[in-house]
Structure 1
Amino acid sequence: MSRFKGGCKDSLAGFKVQTAEPTVPYGLLKAARKSGQLNLSGRGLKEGNFMLAHTYSTTKRPDLPLHDNQLSSLPSALGELQNLQQLRLSHNQLDSLPVEMCTLKNLRSLTLQQNLLENLPEDLGQLANLTELDASSNQLKSLPSSFGCLVSLQKVNLCHNQLSGLPDSLARLTNVKLLDCSDNQLTEIPESLSEMLALEQLYLRHNKLRFLPKLPAPALKELYVGNNQIEQLQTEQLSCLTAISLLELRNNKIKTVPEEITLLSTLTRLDLTNNDITSLPASLSLLPNLNVLLLEGNPLRGIRRDILSKGTSELLKYLRGRVKEEPDKTDGGDTAMMLPSQARVNVHDIKTLKLLAYSDKQEGSIPEELFDGAADQSIATVNFSKNQLTSVPPRLVEFQSSLSEVNLGFNRLISCSPDICKLLQLTHIDLRNNQLSDLPSEMQNLTKLRSIILVYNRFKSFPHVLYETLSLETILLANNQVCEVDPSRLMKLTHLSTLDLANNDLLNIPPELGLCTSLRCLSLEGNPFRTPRAAIVAKGTDALMEYLRSRIPT
């Protein structure tokens, strides 16, 4: 270890701070030499020539945290740290990056947010193993032509820059699942982005877009285009969104909602807040999976304010009442048959929409005739909400090869039958407003499950099986009695973007929760914890996560 005391000058050339006293304490370097990890974040460093080469040259999975300093430059010797996999340079004063950084072949994660960068190195494309890049909150006006060579990228954050356009080479990034280009100067989005076959989340908020992008990306589930200048929703653009689940269009200038909105059969959430919409098509109520419709701040006419205030369910019910029933002119006779319970089997919904619905009946069981009427059909969606069910209908397993969405909300379920875990195609399950306190361990077998709604139940702890359900993207667990959450297990959920734990009994928020970097929305309000303060929570997810990370002991 004598080399760190200043005795071995040659081996540290380019990495030594040229001051009488070392900027980095010797004890810290000594510990880093043993552990292979050196954390230099938040130390007010101004120089880029650190004594790091020997610390990192022999480690296999090193992480170099240099964030939250005052660095204005980095040494070219950075290129010698060939074992680096994570390089964290956020919250500094860097206005350029050394080209030698592009030789770090093992680099997986590069975080550059909150610097003064006006461009990225042209050789950036050499980082062929890079999976995560965060260059947000800089001064980028364009991207290097080699950007499309970063073929391993999965998450790209370019928000809060000055980009006026995106290069066509982005189309080569076929592994990117999340692309955030919010808060830039974009006026249009190249159609070539539709070749990003893995793209699931696209953020384009706060730009200058006048039209909804034409993006037939086959996996695109969430599109955020709020705070733009969109005036019209066109059929051609809407028809492209074949897998869309969430569409955010708030704070635009949209005047009408076209009938073609019904093409979005997979849509679950539509945000039209603060537009210029005066009327809604009744056909909007025919969207089989729509459960959240936000319309505040529109000059709507013809719909009473009290109906709007009752929420999505009542509004869609009202719109359904305005849909004109067209007689079925086929030779088959009636489109529905009466059941002894006076319920109707909606043949159109079953055959055309692949929807099996029996909701708002306040019944204690589902009529057998309803299942019989859907026999041999590839039912994709089941809605049995607002009844008096005390158990999961066992005949749901008859649709296990096709069923992807189940709504059992507003019932009296005391337990969730393991039978529901046989529905291996399930992507969404709504169990809100029941009496559940646990979930079956078999739920981890649902490898396609993306979202689960458990609000207003009786959970006293975070359901352990959810930690093992690795495909989850959304967990809504508000208004329960959850008293703790384990961030080390939560970090396994690498796809989790939304976590709602509002109005529970959390007395302590572990700072390590800030390391769950996939989270885009974290709701903690209404819990009895004292830190973080309510003012920090109110600033939103980004500020909250940054605060939590700052509290992690180093």
Structure 2
Amino acid sequence: MSRLRRGAMTGDPRAGFRDHRDKEPPVPQGLIRAARKSGQLNLSGRGLSEVPASVWRINVDTPEEAHSNVQFDASDRWWEQTDLVKLFLSSNKLQSLPDDLRLLPALVLLDIHDNLLSELPAAIGELVHLQKLNISHNKLRSLPQEVSQLQNLKSLLVQHNQLEEIPEALGQMTDLEELDLSNNCLKNISGGLGSLTHLTRLNVSNNKLKALPAEIGSLKRLRQLDCTSNLLEEVPTSMAGMDSLEQLYLRQNKLTFLPELPDCRILKELHVGNNQINTLGPQHLSHLSCLNILELRDNKLKSLPDEIALLKGLERLDLTNNDLSSLPNSLANLPNLKSLQLEGNPLRGIRRDLLSKGTQELLKYLRGRIQVPEAKSEQGEAPGVTAMTMPSDSLVNTHAIATLKTLEYSDKQAPVIPDAVFNAVGGSPITSVNFSKNQLIEVPLRIVELKDSLCDFNLGFNKITTISLNLCMLLKLTHLDLRNNLLVSLPDKLEAMTRLQSIILSFNRFKTFPDVLYRIPTLETILISSNQIGSIDPLQLIKLTKLSTLDLKNNDLLQIPPALGNCESLRSLNLEGNPFRNPRAAILAKGTNAILEYLRSRIPT
């Protein structure tokens, strides 16, 4: 009988097997051997209440097979093993970790989420090479001071625990880029947080915070800040200096006014729904020209200032459930506004049937109420159209081309875009083009003439069946609207659009989710409702780390893969109108967070 076999029978602590009387499921010896070669060991979902000692000592003890009288080929040379660098222990029943954790000093990633841990050993601080630590979904009430010794840590995920405070020493982890403290019991955060100057993502949502430290303004690299569901009555004025901020979530707090953010000039999303905001003034809006989404639903706003028209990049404005009795006509001057939500307001002077016709009809109505003084000739008379009028003058708004950098030729029902429209551009740098509501069957070839400046392209409500490669040459495009066409696929070369942030593909004829979208990591919004899509690949969607809005309603999805719940960047997920049975309507009605939580709970362990 070999030494390996005897080890299995006697419960040798260096062997990868447990005593046969032990109720713990064994860790297959093959996994241990493979881990020595790859440097990775995945023991997730094995029902472990403790980790076998052989795992902690994998790089310390001589492998059992070294004592066996066997021949080794090139692939089984245990003496050429690599140190363990990645260890996955998630979805088990671990209540504690031993000090033997220090025997794995080469670890770069340690994932222990979804266990029963109530504390971490001080030895955690000896894993000095650790870059990612996931201890979310446990029962931790505190973090040991030693965690501050993890000077190379870049990602610390502690969400869904029972933390009442975080150690002041956390501010010493200066390489930290991602910190998730959401869904805990925190009542305050120390000013030491301001020392985390490399932080790009901070989530403190679903806690009991009444205030944020003034030092938070020192986080000059922060791109995403989520403070949803706390008790904040105001935010520190120092936040105005966070000039890298792109997404700010302040939903479900007790704010009475919108924060003034004069230096947050690249802010793209501002979510302040479910607060008590009753005033919105010019000082709150004047510096937010890059804002794409402004969510103000469930507040107490009585009016909007005319300066709302300064938000030239605004695409979605949610004013649901406020106290608005009227709307400023200047809303019609928002060139990119695609979604204006007004349900639950006591609006007067605007017919209900007009509100039900959608955003574009409402904007058209407001545009008609704007009084534009007619230009007069030197003789004091309004000029008429003469034989000398240039064709481009009658086709497009040359003033919009020169001042707003916008080329508008929409709602003409034209089968092609006349050359005169492109000729009118001259040498002007155009950033926005609207060719919607025509009869186009293809993308106009001359659009490539605008490739050096074009950022926003609207081709919605046409009859386009295929996307030609000239569209893929618009490398500066950030927003693309292709809704209500006849598309069944997208070209692979669309992935060259490395700046694309949002794409609208609703009301087309897609039967499969376009694979190319999985390969555009800059995407933040994908609207692809009302098609015939039968499945999605959650493992590919997870790679889109910036994706915050995904609309899949009214498709043919027969099932929703549980792994979709791991797409933690999603802030808005719409699945209504599909034929799947689970999640049920009651879960869908609770919103995105509830859907993702439900899906995560269905992931097999």
Counterpart position of 2:52: none
How far, CA to CA, are the matches of 2:377 and 2:474 in structure 1? 34
String of CA shifts for 1:294-332, please: whole Å, max 9, x gaps.
Answer: 111111111111101111011011111101012236879
**Equivalent position SS for 1:270:** strand
1:249 to 289, 292, 296: 296
How far, CA to CA, are the matches of 1:293 and 1:267 in structure 2? 10
Tell me the CA shift for residue 202 of structure 1: 0.2
Max radius of gyration: which structure? Answer: 2
2:149 to 81, 98, 103: 103
With over 3 angstroms needed to count, the CA separation of the structure-2 counterparts of 1:440 and 1:80, relative to structure 1, is same
- 8 Å contact from structure 1 (residues 431, 453) kept in 2: yes
Q: Which segment is superposed worse, 374-383 or 186-195? A: 186-195
Tell me the CA shift for residue 30 of structure 1: 8.5
- 1:414 equivalent to 2:419? Answer no
- 1:49 equivalent to 2:100? Answer no
Counterpart position of 2:171: 125
1:195 to 203, 225, 241: 241
- 1:113 equivalent to 2:164? Answer no
How far, CA to CA, are the matches of 1:32 and 1:142 in structure 2? 43
**Equivalent position SS for 2:294:** strand
How far, CA to CA, are the matches of 2:587 and 2:32 in structure 1? 33
Residue identity in the other structure for 2:321: N
Residue identity in the other structure for 2:287: C
- 1:528 equivalent to 2:579? Answer yes
With over 3 angstroms needed to count, the CA separation of the structure-2 counterparts of 1:538 and 1:63, relative to structure 1, is farther
Counterpart position of 2:27: 27
Map 1:514-525 to 2 at 5 A.
514-525=565-576
Tell me the CA shift for residue 443 of structure 1: 1.3
How far, CA to CA, are the matches of 1:186 and 1:241 in structure 2? 22
Map 1:344-355 to 2 at 5 A.
344-355=395-406
How far, CA to CA, are the matches of 1:161 and 1:23 in structure 2? 39
Counterpart position of 1:16: none
With over 3 angstroms needed to count, the CA separation of the structure-2 counterparts of 1:219 and 1:342, relative to structure 1, is closer
1:261 to 301, 308, 332: 308
With over 3 angstroms needed to count, the CA separation of the structure-2 counterparts of 1:328 and 1:107, relative to structure 1, is same
- 1:204 equivalent to 2:250? Answer yes
Q: Which runs of 5 or more residues in structure 2 are unaligned?
A: 15-20, 45-88
With over 3 angstroms needed to count, the CA separation of the structure-2 counterparts of 1:209 and 1:334, relative to structure 1, is farther
With over 3 angstroms needed to count, the CA separation of the structure-2 counterparts of 1:263 and 1:101, relative to structure 1, is same
- 1:164 equivalent to 2:210? Answer yes
**Equivalent position SS for 1:293:** strand
Q: Which segment is superposed worse, 190-199 or 419-428? A: 190-199
Counterpart position of 1:13: none
1:279 to 311, 322, 326: 326
**Equivalent position SS for 1:546:** helix
Tell me the CA shift for residue 178 of structure 1: 1.1
With over 3 angstroms needed to count, the CA separation of the structure-2 counterparts of 1:419 and 1:331, relative to structure 1, is farther
1:455 to 486, 489, 506: 506
Counterpart position of 2:131: 85
How far, CA to CA, are the matches of 1:102 and 1:318 in structure 2? 59
Counterpart position of 2:489: 438
- 1:292 equivalent to 2:336? Answer no
Tell me the CA shift for residue 492 of structure 1: 2.5
- 8 Å contact from structure 1 (residues 336, 346) kept in 2: no
With over 3 angstroms needed to count, the CA separation of the structure-2 counterparts of 1:105 and 1:379, relative to structure 1, is same
1:180 to 226, 243, 267: 226
Tell me the CA shift for residue 236 of structure 1: 1.2
- 1:542 equivalent to 2:593? Answer yes
- Give the TM-score of the pair, scaled to structure 2: 0.83
With over 3 angstroms needed to count, the CA separation of the structure-2 counterparts of 1:100 and 1:378, relative to structure 1, is same
String of CA shifts for 1:39-72, please: whole Å, max 9, x gaps.
Answer: 3444444x3234762674344x333223242x33
How far, CA to CA, are the matches of 1:264 and 1:308 in structure 2? 22
How far, CA to CA, are the matches of 2:128 and 2:308 in structure 1? 51
How far, CA to CA, are the matches of 2:193 and 2:458 in structure 1? 43
- 1:379 equivalent to 2:430? Answer yes
With over 3 angstroms needed to count, the CA separation of the structure-2 counterparts of 1:55 and 1:377, relative to structure 1, is same
Tell me the CA shift for residue 409 of structure 1: 0.4
With over 3 angstroms needed to count, the CA separation of the structure-2 counterparts of 1:104 and 1:415, relative to structure 1, is same
Residue identity in the other structure for 2:305: P
Q: Which segment is superposed worse, 509-518 or 134-143? A: 509-518
How far, CA to CA, are the matches of 2:384 and 2:259 in structure 1? 38
Tell me the CA shift for residue 406 of structure 1: 0.8
- 1:477 equivalent to 2:528? Answer yes
String of CA shifts for 1:111-155, please: whole Å, max 9, x gaps.
Answer: 222222221110101222322211112221221222122222222
Residue identity in the other structure for 2:41: G
How far, CA to CA, are the matches of 1:181 and 1:379 in structure 2? 37
How far, CA to CA, are the matches of 1:283 and 1:158 in structure 2? 36
Counterpart position of 1:504: 555
**Equivalent position SS for 2:526:** strand
- 1:391 equivalent to 2:442? Answer yes
Residue identity in the other structure for 1:219: I
- 8 Å contact from structure 2 (residues 99, 123) kept in 1: no
- 8 Å contact from structure 1 (residues 29, 38) kept in 2: no
Tell me the CA shift for residue 280 of structure 1: 1.0
**Equivalent position SS for 1:352:** helix
String of CA shifts for 1:453-478, please: whole Å, max 9, x gaps.
Answer: 00011111111211211211111111
How far, CA to CA, are the matches of 1:513 and 1:259 in structure 2? 41
- 1:490 equivalent to 2:495? Answer no
How far, CA to CA, are the matches of 1:22 and 1:135 in structure 2? 37
1:426 to 474, 477, 497: 477
- Give the TM-score of the pair, scaled to structure 1: 0.90
Q: Which segment is superposed worse, 508-517 or 445-454? A: 508-517
Residue identity in the other structure for 2:181: A
Map 1:5-16 to 2 at 5 A.
7=13
**Equivalent position SS for 1:356:** strand
- 8 Å contact from structure 1 (residues 56, 84) kept in 2: no
String of CA shifts for 1:365-400, please: whole Å, max 9, x gaps.
Answer: 222222222221111111111111111112212211
**Equivalent position SS for 2:407:** strand
- 1:467 equivalent to 2:518? Answer yes
String of CA shifts for 1:85-107, please: whole Å, max 9, x gaps.
Answer: 33333333322111112212333
* CA RMSD, 1 decimal: 2.8
- 8 Å contact from structure 1 (residues 131, 154) kept in 2: yes
Residue identity in the other structure for 1:309: S
Tell me the CA shift for residue 502 of structure 1: 1.8
- 1:303 equivalent to 2:350? Answer yes
Tell me the CA shift for residue 421 of structure 1: 1.6
How far, CA to CA, are the matches of 2:231 and 2:365 in structure 1? 40
Residue identity in the other structure for 1:519: L
String of CA shifts for 1:4-23, please: whole Å, max 9, x gaps.
Answer: 96858xxxxxxxxxxxx989
**Equivalent position SS for 1:27:** coil
Tell me the CA shift for residue 535 of structure 1: 3.5
Counterpart position of 2:140: 94
- 1:322 equivalent to 2:369? Answer yes
Residue identity in the other structure for 1:57: P
Q: Which segment is superposed worse, 495-504 or 449-458? A: 495-504
How far, CA to CA, are the matches of 2:392 and 2:239 in structure 1? 51
String of CA shifts for 1:233-275, please: whole Å, max 9, x gaps.
Answer: 1111110212111101111111111111111111111111111
Residue identity in the other structure for 1:357: E
